[in-house]
Structure 1
Amino acid sequence: MNGDYLFKQVYDYVLHRIELNEWNENEKLPSIRNLASEMKVHRLTVLKAYQLLRQENRVYVKDKSGYYVQSREINKLESLVNPIVSAYVQKNHLSEIHQVPVSYQFSQALIDPNLLPNRFISDYVKKVFDLYPKVLSTYSTVQGDHELRQTLSDYFNQHYKTITHPDHLLITSGSQQAIHLIAQAFVKSRDTILLERPSYSSAIDIFRAQGANIVTVDIHPYGYDLEQIEFIMKKHKPRLFYLNPTFHNPTGYTVPLVQRKQLVQLAQHYRCLLIEDDAYYDIFFDQEPPPPMYTYDTSGMVIYIKSFCKYVSPGLRIAVMMNGQSSVVKSLLAVKSLADNGSPLLNQKIFLHYFSSSRLQQHVEKLRIALQIRKEIMEEELSVTDWQWTSPNGGLNLWVLLPSRLSTEDLLVKSLEQSISFVPGQICDPLKEPSSWLRLSYSYANEKQISDGLRKFINLVRSTQ
């Protein structure tokens, strides 16, 4: 039997017995030697399975004693009485939180629909049917509508001074699908990948579901520790590094230009794909951020994901992936054809004509002002606390540190009862460690809701201290 099969067999066996309560919480597990002998596998296979279970917070280790079943109290699986919250702790599904209807919505990193040009886009829908009367009678190509890819490549060439060809582009149904396609195309079970810590929770879910071995890289207000990244790349030889360097989700940090160039050089040297997720680039307040890392890539080591969902029309679900290597694009096309055989053509045509209009730039400029005002209102309300955060120059979120003695997981239960939602930091942590960080989005709630909701939330936090 191959090593991957044996590893999964041991992992599944141990996890199954824990879930059936055959091994109770805080009970010692069989030693690595004994379990390896019982299952007739190498001791390293058992060790790898125990280490993964430890990373997933299902077991813990005592020095010179062995591995033990993690208690449910620490796991937060019984203490959270709200079934929605329980689901997110076990599965890390951000959507579980979003499905709870609340009056003060601070978990959704989406833009208030009232700030989007809904009526203007509806006019373009009528125009598209006039220009393309058969648009509903045919599929798009798997790679995406050629007219849209040509328009986008012209835009990138002009805006970023790059040399991008329509064949380098692949249209996807949102950035989350793009990440999923990349995981399917390039990550096999037990492949090592790098993720920022914290990171976009859906990306964590996707790569974990693919069976990836996740190694984390800390992100700071100043960017990354490049020495740390080089050490990790040299030691682990990761398949890819998924990163969100511009108005990072959830922290709002932006990686400086010099580090972007150095990251590309490291990726080229260690043959590690950089997956640059760029959902917020155009939502800046004072000054435009540094150019994407993709613009410094000369060897095809960067797969650039540009999403337009946030600030144009979330319902259209339009994003684009770019890479200059034909072999990379072919691999992505293969998995895209299996996923949906091409994103909806109608959506692409509607987006194409709105994207090409002068109205789009006017909309984006007004949107930046509106979002900056909402961010400042949120920060003003938070200024009465001793909480900590770094004010971002763009994006949709504040990454806020509460007093260390507070559990954001328990706090979420109480907040939902008060019709307030936020994202606990643990959900954004690939290691799933308890955290006093939380993400507050200022983009979905209106100005009054931000003021009223934050005051209510601050009082709630104070009452739990």
Structure 2
Amino acid sequence: MNEKGMAADDGKRLFKQVYDHVIHRIEHGEWKAHEKLPSIRQLAEELGVHRLTVFRAYQMLKHNEKVYVKEKSGYYVNPNDPDRVVLEYGEDQPIVASGKLINSLSDIQRVSAAYQFSQALIDPNLLPNLFLSDYVKKVFDLYPKLMGTYSTVQGDEELREVLSRYMMQNHHTQLQASDIMITTGAQQAIDLLSRIFISPMDAVMIERPTYSAAIDIFRQQRARFIPVDIHHYGYDIANVERLMKQYKPRFFYMNPTFHNPTGYTVPSSQRKQLVELAERYRCLLIEDDAFHDMHFDGPPPQPLFTYDTEGWVVYLRSFSKYVAPGLRICAIIASPTVMKLLFTAKSLADNGSPLVNQKIFLHYFQSERLQQHIEKLRIALQVRRDIMEKELTPTGWNWVSPRGGLNLWIKLPEAIPVEQFLKECMQQSISFVPGIICDPLRKMRSQIRLSYSFINEKQLQQGVKNLVTVADRYS
């Protein structure tokens, strides 16, 4: 696409962002029924956009009956908007919801399915459940008053000390326990960071595609998305620099190691360049690393944060996926400036993650059994990846075989309508993630994510056969 085409595409995205911004403020009750909206000039100045962009957004609001127009007066909130979320509480006391909370991935995963390809989780039968139960008993013997106290907001100091030594040993970087915060999974970390750094209409760089829950979290904060395509070779670094320079984003959220949903891994050479760009354009990098140890052909490159000397990388290292998902343990590594902000945000969210979970994880994490478990788990996941790929090979569908992680990112033929395909698969008790919810532009209508990690080998083989059978109806 040439520069003119890119500018036009940016304009299309921007007026839709303004539209969403107005809708959000109406839903939050900032502008009530029959109340006049700001003039086109006023809102354009407030948001820092062209007046034509606001005009197009207002026209779309009018077309969708969100607002109405009084001639020579302006735009007003339509009291008869059929989509407005109102919960009745008594006869005369309506409670208006503060907004439409969306979690597209959760909506799919809540549906029960025998062949669950939408869950990027590990089969519980692959986890050392009996061994973990023994550790639970051991932990309560060591800490008999464990249930009677809170964790600190930053997290258990003993756990943070162990994790700092682990990071220094494995990633050759200097860390202290004070550089680490424990959160209840990576998703809480993403949510906290979004609350700290995103104000309405702030520009945020985000991979395309990316983790769908992150999209929903950032959208709830009314971020303005600046998509960055991720490929099997990484990013177009020149384009990343252009976007940082042009939009001055608050941060770039990325998942560069066994990327979710594609499985791609960004090479070392680009990681160093990305940190240099972050320093040059003062753009925070949020590095989400959920699958680092789930490699099949050797360890991945070192995380971006190992190249960072100025504090421009916030590193999220989740251990929940492959150690004990129920414990929900994630470590945030951040500069003192960011950590101070996280203190306040975390204290408002839960005043500290559960201490029981942290102590159980701590003692299991230090055991020799953990390393044996991880080695066996890598083999089991690679076998399941191979089974899924073997069953899919006759279809002629396109994907890049991942060298780690839990997912296949597949390009289906144009003849298969993914929304209808998902509906029919659900009727056959098969679930998967449609690519559109992983796309901040919501245009990836031919891609799907299949997770090969959650069901056993026999179920996996049969489930993929059934999925292909449903797809054959569209041939």
Q: Is contact 2:40–2:55 with CA below 8 Å preserved after alignment? A: no
Distance 1:52 1:131 in 2: 63
Q: Judge conservation of contact 1:10–1:49 (CA < 8 Å) in 2.
A: no
Give 1:48 shift.
Answer: 4.0
Q: Which residue of structure 2 aligns with residue 330 of structure 1?
A: 340
Structure 1's 434 and 316: CA in aligned 2 closer, same or farther, altered over 3 A? Answer: same
Quote the residue 1:47 is aligned against: 53
**Who is 2:448 aligned against?**
438
In the superposition, the TM-score normalised over structure 1's length comes to 0.84
Q: CA deviation at 1:47?
A: 2.1
Q: CA deviation at 1:11?
A: 2.1
Distance 1:460 1:158 in 2: 49
The answer as to 2:162 corresponding to 1:162 is: no
Match of 2:380 in 1: 370
Q: Match for 1:272 among 279, 283, 286?
A: 283
Please point out which of 152, 168, 171 is paired with 2:182.
Answer: 171
Distance 2:138 2:436 in 1: 46
CA contact (8 A) 2:19 2:58 kept: no
Partner of residue 308, structure 1: 319
Equivalent residue letter for 1:173: T
1:341 equivalent in structure 2: 351
Change (3 A) 1:90 1:461: farther
Counterpart contact for 2:118–2:433, Cα < 8 Å = yes
The yes-or-no answer on 1:211 pairing with 2:228 is no
Which of 389, 392, 403 lines up with 1:379 in the alignment? 389
| 1:149 pairs with 2:160 | yes
1:47 counterpart letter in structure 2:
T
Alpha-carbon distance in structure 2 between the residues aligned to 1:191 and 1:442: 36
Q: Which amino acid in structure 2 is aligned with residue 391 of structure 1?
A: S
* Alignment CA distance shift 1:120-1:51 (3 Å): farther
Report Cα offsets for 1:259-287 as digits up to 9, x if no partner. 00000000010000000000000000011
1:90/1:389 Cα in 2 relative to 1: closer, same or farther (>3 Å)? farther
Are 1:148 and 1:348, in contact at CA under 8 Å, matched by a contact in 2? yes
Structure 1 contact 244–277 (Cα < 8 Å) conserved: yes
Map of 1:82 onto structure 2: none
- Structure 2, unmatched stretches of 5+, are 1-17, 28-36, 66-99
Identity %: 55
Contact 2:21 2:200 in 1 (8 A): no
Structure 2 match to 1:295: 306
Change (3 A) 1:420 1:49: farther
Give distance in 2, aligned partners of 1:309 and 1:128.
Answer: 18
- Cα distance in 2 between the residues matched to 1:42 and 1:95: 35
Alignment of 1:395-406 (within 5 A): 395-406=405-416
Q: 1:160 to 1:103 in 2, by over 3 A?
A: same
> Is residue 2:458 matched to residue 1:452?
no
Q: Which string of whole-angstrom CA distances, capped at 9 and with x for unpartnered residues, describes residues 302-356 of structure 1?
A: 0000001100111100001001x21110001110000000000000000000000
What is the CA-CA distance between 1:462 and the residue it aligns to? 1.0
What is the letter of the counterpart of residue 301 of structure 1? W
- Alpha-carbon distance between aligned partners in 2 of 1:275 and 1:138, rounded to the nearest angstrom: 32
**Alignment partner, residue 261 of structure 1:** 272
RMSD after superposition = 2.7
CA distance in 1: counterparts of 2:249 and 2:51, whole angstroms:
20
Task: State how many pairs are aligned.
Answer: 412
Q: Distance in 2 between matches of 1:53 and 1:445?
A: 49
Describe the shift of the 1:269–1:461 C-alpha distance in structure 2 as closer, same or farther (beyond 3 A).
same
Structure 1 residue runs of 5 or longer lacking an equivalent are 1-6, 17-34, 60-88
One-letter code of the match for 1:393? R
TM-score, normalised with respect to structure 2: 0.82
Task: Give distance in 2, aligned partners of 1:193 and 1:407.
Answer: 30
Q: Is the 8 A contact 1:221 1:390 kept in 2?
A: yes
Match of 2:30 in 1: none
Match of 2:402 in 1: 392
Question: In 2, are the aligned partners of 1:11 and 1:50 still within 8 Å (CA)?
Answer: no
Q: 2:40·2:51 contact (CA, 8 Å) conserved in 1? A: no
Residues 176-217 of structure 1 show CA distances to partners (whole Å, capped at 9, x for unaligned) of 000001001111111101000000000001111011111100
